[in-house]
């Protein structure tokens, strides 16, 4: 049980993984969970949410001293690929400097740390199904800074667990961050979205991730673990699913090989991950396939043009089948 490691700090609650995790833990442990978001993200407010930049050493130290956190779920990370390429200093500050600040506080307060990293520490130029012992070779500034953050924690907080996640499938706080909401925002505005035939990710429902986070916060497992869903999908297929389930205009979805995307930002290839080590640690497969149901697995590049009679398609269906696995807890409002 996590009760012996409360209060809990969740950083990076402006991101999809952090946003969904915060609501999960805040509901389950009321009054014992604090989430921090950057000062500039002024629209994200509510009980338990604190405006605090994770790289601000003084502010973070004051927060730790005041609350006395016993555990931390670190979801910090600027994953905007183009922004990171154009401003490497910003990416280093957010993704690496924040890790250095947090590692110091974790040691000072003897707190449990579960850190979220990314599948984009790999280039995807190999055969996918990556295991934890595979050499990392990121092609983006984002991936390189996330790899640096991993090294910081491995050196300074060797008892921490580092979970490499892929695309967390759930709602975003602003309605246009993350894979589902960004793609949906294009279609909703009747604008085209171009996705890649050969960039492969290991999607996971946020509800499944939350349960894994809770287990790792409660146990003492250390080192790197992959959190990849059991059904890798290309970005184009992911967009096909969103397009059809949401009943958006099929011609708005464009596809191409990533080599045609241009040099900015660089695109990874098959960065799918094996979760065998994680499954062994937990004694179970914690991830449902995304998307729910074989009827939502695209068979070809024109699959999303098919609109079978009687098939449920709407924005509400995206919430029901793509944001969450129906057997999990109810989606928060």
Consecutive 10-residue averages of pLDDT for the chain (333 residues): 92 96 97 96 93 97 98 92 92 96 98 98 94 97 97 98 97 90 96 97 97 97 97 97 98 95 88 98 96 92 96 93 70 36
Position 330 scores a pLDDT of 40
Name the token pair of 69.
Answer: 């956190």
Considering its fold, how many domains does the chain have in total? 1
Name the token pair of 10.
Answer: 């969740």
Q: Is residue 245 part of a domain?
A: no
Position 133 scores a pLDDT of 97
Helix (H) or strand (E) holding 10: strand 8-11
Q: Is residue 140 part of a domain?
A: yes
Name the token pair of 20.
Answer: 């969904």
**Domain coverage including residue 129:** 2-174+201-232+271-289
| Environment class of 67 (CB within 10 Å of its CB; exposed 0-12, middle 13-18, buried 19+) | middle
Question: DSSP string covering 76-117, please?
Answer: -----HHHHHH-HHHHHIIIIIHHHHHHHHHHHHT-EEEEEE
Q: Which residue has the tokens 């390189």?
A: 144
Position 327 scores a pLDDT of 54
Q: Which alpha helices (DSSP H) does the chain contain, by range?
A: 16-28, 57-67, 81-86, 88-92, 98-109, 141-156, 178-188, 206-218, 235-245, 276-282, 315-317
Position 3 scores a pLDDT of 87
- Rounded distance between C-alpha atoms, residue 96 and residue 145, angstroms: 6
Residue 105, domain CATH? 3.40.50.720
Specify the pTM: 0.94
- Rounded distance between C-alpha atoms, residue 31 and residue 18, angstroms: 17
Q: Is residue 251 part of a domain?
A: no
Q: Is residue 330 part of a domain?
A: no
Q: Is residue 179 part of a domain?
A: no
Position 80 scores a pLDDT of 82
Q: Is residue 108 part of a domain?
A: yes
Q: Is residue 137 part of a domain?
A: yes
Q: Is residue 42 part of a domain?
A: yes
């Amino acid at each position: 049980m996590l009760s012996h490691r409360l209060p809990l700090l969740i950083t990076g609650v402006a991101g999809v993984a952090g946003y969904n995790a915060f609501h999960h833990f805040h509901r389950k442990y009321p009054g014992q969970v604090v989430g921090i978001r950057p000062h500039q993200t002024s629209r994200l407010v509510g009980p338990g949410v604190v405006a605090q930049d994770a790289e601000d050493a003084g502010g973070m130290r004051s927060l730790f001293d005041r609350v006395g956190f016993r555990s931390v779920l670190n979801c910090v990370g600027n994953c905007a690929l183009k922004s990171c390429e154009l401003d490497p200093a910003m990416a280093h500050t957010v993704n690496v400097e924040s890790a250095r600040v947090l590692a110091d506080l974790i040691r000072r307060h003897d707190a449990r740390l579960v850190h979220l990293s990314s599948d984009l520490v790999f280039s995807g130029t190999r055969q996918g199904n990556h295991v934890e012992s595979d050499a990392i070779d990121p092609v983006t500034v984002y991936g390189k800074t996330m790899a640096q953050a991993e090294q910081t924690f491995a050196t300074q907080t060797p008892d921490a667990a580092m979970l490499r996640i892929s695309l967390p499938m759930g709602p975003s706080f602003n309605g246009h961050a993350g894979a589902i909401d960004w793609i949906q925002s294009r279609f909703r505005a009747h604008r085209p979205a171009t996705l890649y035939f050969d960039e492969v990710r290991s999607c996971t429902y946020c509800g499944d991730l939350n349960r894994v986070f809770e287990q790792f916060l409660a146990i003492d497992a250390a080192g790197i673990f992959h959190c990849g869903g059991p059904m890798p999908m290309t970005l184009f297929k992911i967009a096909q699913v969103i397009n059809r389930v949401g009943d958006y205009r099929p011609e708005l979805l464009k596809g191409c090989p990533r080599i045609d995307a241009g040099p900015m930002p660089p695109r990874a290839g098959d960065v799918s991950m094996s979760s065998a080590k994680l499954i062994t640690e937990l004694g179970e497969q914690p991830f449902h396939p995304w998307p729910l149901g074989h009827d939502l697995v695209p068979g070809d590049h024109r699959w999303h043009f098919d609109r079978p009679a009687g098939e449920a398609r709407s924005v509400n269906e995206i919430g029901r089948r793509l944001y969450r696995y129906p057997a999990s807890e109810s989606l928060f409002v």
